[in-house]
């Protein structure tokens, strides 16, 4: 639900180093001649990893990154991460806040690289992560067909079937959830980043993704101050849960306080306005959280992979439409 910012790429790497890195690892490769005269292009990062050019990669990371991660730590992690990898496949490329983010997955589908590059090819964020998969549930879709709960084009910030593109994936109750934002010129807001009104998503319509009956609402939770606070005690914040045929339940979260237009027991048609986008609950900036569950008690339920009308399976970085 929460929108995680680029700084967490650095934090994520530090955590992974503590768990898996060996700061005393001695490299068996001669790195002295590996540093190119010019920075390598972002697209070349997987090749640099496969060729064990860890010094070249490290030297291209930002000063902040190097302040937090030592060269020895990085070298040990790189060698360990590369074991058994034959190649990496590019999964997505997106522009976010003056950075371009790339995501690659290895040939076995169990390791991922996520890197954010600045215009001068400085690596501002880098995450090397194991990839967990749940193929059995990945292949089970909702019986009903849905559309996104939106009425204009939105950006898929989190979505897909691995943790690299969808941080919800690790949690069964939200595994196939989507977080949706509106981007213009690669940013989500214009003006004061601490003002909800500055965000393009704030106040936009949220609509019913399928016909159904309202079984749960909340309308009185304060909106958070973007980049400052979140409400983890009420993770959905203001929300609407709809019951559909085949015991499927749409869970739609983070409405603006006081804007939910439906009540428990109401019947809604697909595309009906439910309320307005806000920043309530476990949310760091205005956005929509949407997933389908197999029970109205969403925290104890399992999420179900959503079958969309257009047959598409959006992932992080994709633009999506609704009604």
What tens digit of pLDDT does each residue of 212-265 get? Answer: 999 999 999 999 999 999 999 999 999 999 999 999 999 999 999 999 999 999
The pLDDT, as a whole number, for residue 98 is 86
One domain, residues 119 and 148: no
One domain, residues 106 and 247: no
Chain-centre distance for alpha carbon 95: 14
Higher pLDDT, 15 or 77: 77
One domain, residues 196 and 213: yes
- Domain with 117, as residue range(s), is 7-130
The pLDDT, as a whole number, for residue 35 is 61
The pLDDT, as a whole number, for residue 212 is 98
CATH number for the domain spanning 90: value is: 3.10.450
Write out pLDDT tens, residues 275-323: 999 999 999 999 999 999 999 999 999 999 999 998 999 999 999 999 9
Please say if the pLDDT value at position 16 is more than 80.
Answer: no
The pLDDT, as a whole number, for residue 112 is 93
Q: Which two tokens stand for residue 15?
A: 């955590």
Per the structure, the count of domains in the chain is 2
One domain, residues 192 and 303: yes
Average pLDDT, the chain: 89
Q: How many CB atoms lie within 10 A of CB 183?
A: 19
Residue 237 CA to residue 253 CA, distance in Å, equals 6
The share of the chain scoring above pLDDT 90, in percent, equals 77
One domain, residues 110 and 151: no
Confidence of residue 34 (pLDDT cuts 50, 70, 90): low
Confidence of residue 21 (pLDDT cuts 50, 70, 90): very low
The pLDDT, as a whole number, for residue 1 is 61
Residue 3 CA to residue 97 CA, distance in Å, equals 14
One domain, residues 47 and 76: yes
CATH number for the domain spanning 149: value is: 2.70.70.10
Whether 2 is covered by a domain: the verdict is no
Please say if the pLDDT value at position 9 is more than 60.
Answer: no
One domain, residues 241 and 112: no
**Beta strands 303-308 and 288-293, pairing class:** antiparallel
Candidate ranges 94-98, 132-136, 241-245; pick with highest mean pLDDT: 241-245
């Amino acid at each position: 639900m929460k929108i995680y910012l680029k700084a967490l790429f650095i934090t994520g790497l530090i955590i992974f180093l503590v768990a898996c890195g060996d700061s005393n690892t001695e490299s068996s490769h001669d790195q002295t001649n590996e540093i190119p005269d010019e920075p390598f292009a972002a697209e070349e990062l997987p090749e640099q990893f496969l060729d064990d050019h860890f010094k070249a990669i490290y030297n291209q990371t930002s000063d902040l990154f190097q302040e937090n991660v030592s060269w020895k730590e990085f070298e040990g992690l790189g060698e360990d991460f590369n074991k058994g990898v034959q190649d990496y496949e590019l999964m997505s490329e997106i522009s976010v806040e003056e950075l371009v983010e790339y995501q690659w997955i290895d040939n076995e589908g169990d390791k991922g690289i996520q890197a954010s590059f600045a215009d001068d090819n400085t690596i501002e964020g880098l995450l090397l992560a194991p990839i967990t998969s749940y193929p059995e549930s990945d292949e089970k879709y909702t019986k009903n067909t849905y559309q996104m709960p939106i009425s204009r084009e939105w950006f898929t910030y989190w979505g897909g079937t691995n943790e690299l593109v969808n941080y919800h994936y690790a949690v069964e109750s939200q595994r196939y959830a989507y977080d949706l934002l509106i981007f213009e010129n690669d940013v989500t807001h214009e003006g004061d980043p601490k003002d909800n009104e500055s965000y393009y998503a704030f106040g936009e319509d949220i609509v019913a993704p399928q016909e159904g009956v309202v079984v749960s609402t909340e309308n009185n939770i304060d909106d958070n101050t973007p980049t400052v606070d979140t409400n983890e005690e009420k993770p959905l914040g203001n929300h609407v849960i709809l019951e559909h045929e085949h015991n499927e339940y749409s869970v739609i979260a983070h409405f603006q306080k006081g804007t939910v237009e439906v009540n428990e027991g109401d019947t809604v048609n697909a595309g009906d306005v439910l309320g307005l986008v806000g920043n309530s609950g476990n949310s760091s900036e205005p956005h929509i959280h949407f997933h389908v569950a197999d029970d109205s008690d969403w925290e104890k339920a399992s999420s179900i992979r959503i079958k969309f009308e257009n047959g598409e399976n959006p992932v992080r970085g994709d633009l999506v439409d609704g009604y």
